[in-house]
Amino acid sequence: MAINERAPVVAAGEIEIAANSEIVWDVLTAIDRWPSWNPDVKAVSMSGAVTEGTEFRWKSGPRTITSTIRRVESPRLIAWTGKTFGIKANHTWRLEPRDGKAIVRTKESWEGLVTRIFRARMHKTLQNAIDSGLRHLKAEAERRPIH
């Protein structure tokens, strides 16, 4: 699964994390624990394991998002789609091991009428969320002991 590069709103980010890919993967895919390390995520409910087809609902800011995991390639790739208030999102996370560290790349696209009308504001919102999420993921993964 890939994001829609032609969507009205697209954002991406990359960060190097001083932890191995397995630790980063464990933090990222413990979806129900996101609120414990990412203050941007207020709540998560998940109905199943981290496998393709599993749905989860989460609250970020004023929005509740219903997401479905679309692709899992442990410990390198996870991708999901999401819907909220007329916005359809595609989100991918890629982890690349490098010299005992992890390079994390994430991309997200938003589509829908609201995204076309408020394109600039929504791009800023999404880019800020991507950047913030990467910083929080880095802090949590680097805090964890090495396996």
Q: How far apart are the first and last CA of the chain?
A: 30
Q: What is the pTM of this model?
A: 0.95
CA-to-CA distance for 19 and 30, rounded, in angstroms?
A: 16
pLDDT of residue 147: 57
Residue range 39-48, pLDDT digits in tens: 999 999 998 9
* Domains defined for the chain, CATH in brackets: 9-143 (3.30.530.20)
Amino acid (1-letter code) at residue 60: S
Average pLDDT over residues 102-117: 97
Average pLDDT over residues 94-102: 96
- Nearest-10 Cα torsion for 74, 77, 83, 88: -160
pLDDT of residue 13: 98
Residue range 118-137, pLDDT digits in tens: 999 999 999 999 999 999 99
Residue 103 has pLDDT above 70, yes or no: yes
- What does each C-alpha distance from 75 to 88, 93, 105, 117 come to in angstroms? 26, 10, 13, 37
Residue 11 has pLDDT above 60, yes or no: yes
